[in-house]
Amino acid sequence: NAGVTQTPKFQVLKTGQSMTLQCAQDMNHNSMYWYRQDPGMGLRLIYYSASEGTTDKGEVPNGYNVSRLNKREFSLRLESAAPSQTSVYFCASTGRGLDEQYFGPGTRLTVT
């Protein structure tokens, strides 16, 4: 099992460009999450999907959209990147009836 995988690992964008971060899990988990991590800020929730077909906003959703493509995959889209979106992005998942979350390796995004 690969667990939670994310692509790409690194990305540099210019202001105004768009991109999609991909996340997939092979643990048959129901819930998936996108967080961003900035120095001194800890992990902040952007969006989550409690189950296939549902998505909800987290703490910092502005500037992002998500798609729960199927049970395995949960993507995060930046429509018009801004320098404030420079961060490390982590995807996580958790199984039914559980609270423990398991994280992917992260995507380091720089917006210039």
Partner 1 sequence: QKEVEQNSGPLSVPEGAIASLNCTYSDRGSQSFFWYRQYSGKSPELIMFIYSNGDKEDGRFTAQLNKASQYVSLLIRDSQPSDSATYLCAVNNRDTGRRALTFGSGTRLQVQP
Residues that bind partner 1 (CB under 8 A): 31, 33, 35, 40-45, 48, 50, 56, 58, 90, 94, 99-106
Query: Residue 5 or residue 17: which is nearer to partner 1 going by CB?
Result: 5
* Residue entry with tokens 């690969």: 2
Query: Residue 85 or residue 101: which is nearer to partner 1 going by CB?
Result: 101
d(Cα 87, Cα 38) in Å, to the nearest integer? 6
d(Cα 57, Cα 4) in Å, to the nearest integer? 21
Residues with Cβ within 8 Å of residue 42, at least 6 apart in sequence: none
Query: Residue 13 or residue 60: which is nearer to partner 1 going by CB?
Result: 60
The CB-of-103 to partner 1 minimum distance in angstroms stands at 4
